[in-house]
Every structure is written in structure tokens, then in C-alpha cells.
């Protein structure tokens, strides 16, 4: 059972986002300036975190983490981002270097486990809600938000004979 400190206390996560790290470096010909590319919107099914853009002179650097709740949506968001940067490099005659690393797969826990967890937490007096988490979670049977009540929720889980809390 993984505790997610960034999620609302008692929120049982029905899905955990997968994530991909994307880095790109564009280099223009010596003495030429390089305009920044126009990046596509991720849309409602994916999100970009930690976007860092640094352009100046003849180089442009991009680094970010792309997250989505489903594998196909994650792949689509990364593909659109790389296509936009690649097209821009081709149009301005820049050399493009990219690095893409899958950090984690989107995960969906067993609904039966979520039901048992919800009943247990409710019977212990904790308010329960359900929803996806955009925070990539560690491998675990299920994930529960601990926001501000970590010790209390950790104690409840330790009392249960089959669940041990894991902090990411």
C-alpha cells in the first residue's frame, strides 16, 4: 500500500500516471540565431511537468516530464512533442539531439483491492474519495493519499494484517 503525500488524505487512487522524461537540444549553424519552437498543447489527457526551456544564441534546450493516465495517451503526447520539435529543427536547419526515457508505466490497481481498502478506511473513521493521481506512484497493490495525515493513515495501514505502507 503506497502513501502519496501530495494527494488529499483518504483519496484512493483509481489510476496512477505514467511518465516519460523528454530532453531536446537544437543547434543552429555557427553565427545563426535559433528561434524557439512552438510547443503543442498536451490536451486534457496528458500533462507536462517541470518544463524548462533555455534558448539563446545558436542553441535551444527543452526538458520536461510528460505524464498521462493511459499508455496510449502518454505515447501520443510524447510523439506530438517530438514531432513539433523535429519539424521546427528541419524548418530552421538546426541539428537536433533528443533523449527520451520512460520513467514509469501508467498503473491501474485491482478494483477489488480498492473496495476492501475503502471499506477499511471508512470503518476506521477516515473520509474516503476516489480519483486518478497525476503523481507517478511506486509499484504497490494500491495507493492512498496521505496529504497532511500521513502518520494517521500509516498507523491505520500498519494495523491491518495484510497491508504495509510504502512511502514513495
- What pLDDT is stored for residue 46 in this prediction? 92
The domains located in the chain, with CATH, are 2-15+107-159 (no CATH), 18-104 (3.30.70.360)
| HEC sequence for the chain | CEEEEEEECCEEEEEECEEEEEEEEEECCCCCCCCCCCCCCCCCCEEEEEEEEEEECCEEEEEEEEEECCHHHHHHHHHHHHHHHHHHHHHHCCEEEEEEEEEECCECCCHHHHHHHHHHHHHCCCCCEEEEECCCCCCCCCEEEEECCHHHHHHHHHHCCCCCCECC
Read off the pTM: 0.84
Sequential pLDDT tens for the chain (168 residues): 888 988 999 999 999 999 999 999 999 888 888 888 888 888 888 999 988 888 877 889 999 999 999 999 999 999 999 999 999 999 989 999 999 999 999 999 999 999 999 999 999 998 999 999 998 887 788 999 998 898 999 888 888 877 776 665
Amino acid at each position: 500500500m503506497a502513501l502519496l503525500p501530495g494527494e488529499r488524505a483518504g483519496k484512493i487512487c483509481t489510476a496512477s500516471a505514467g511518465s516519460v522524461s523528454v530532453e531536446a537540444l537544437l543547434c543552429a549553424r555557427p553565427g545563426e540565431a535559433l528561434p524557439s519552437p512552438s510547443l503543442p498543447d498536451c490536451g486534457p489527457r496528458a500533462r507536462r511537468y517541470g518544463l524548462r526551456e533555455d534558448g539563446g544564441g545558436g542553441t535551444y534546450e527543452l526538458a520536461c516530464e510528460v505524464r498521462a493516465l493511459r499508455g496510449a495517451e502518454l505515447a501520443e503526447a510524447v510523439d506530438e512533442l517530438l514531432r513539433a520539435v523535429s519539424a521546427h529543427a528541419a524548418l530552421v536547419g538546426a541539428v537536433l539531439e533528443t533523449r527520451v526515457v520512460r520513467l514509469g508505466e501508467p498503473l491501474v490497481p485491482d478494483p477489488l483491492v480498492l473496495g476492501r481498502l475503502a471499506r477499511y478506511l471508512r470503518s476506521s473513521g477516515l473520509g474516503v474519495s476516489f480519483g486518478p493521481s497525476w503523481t507517478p506512484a511506486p509499484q504497490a497493490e494500491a495507493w492512498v493519499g496521505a496529504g497532511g495525515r500521513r502518520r494517521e493513515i500509516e498507523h491505520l495501514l500498519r494495523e491491518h494484517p495484510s497491508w504495509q505502507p510504502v512511502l514513495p
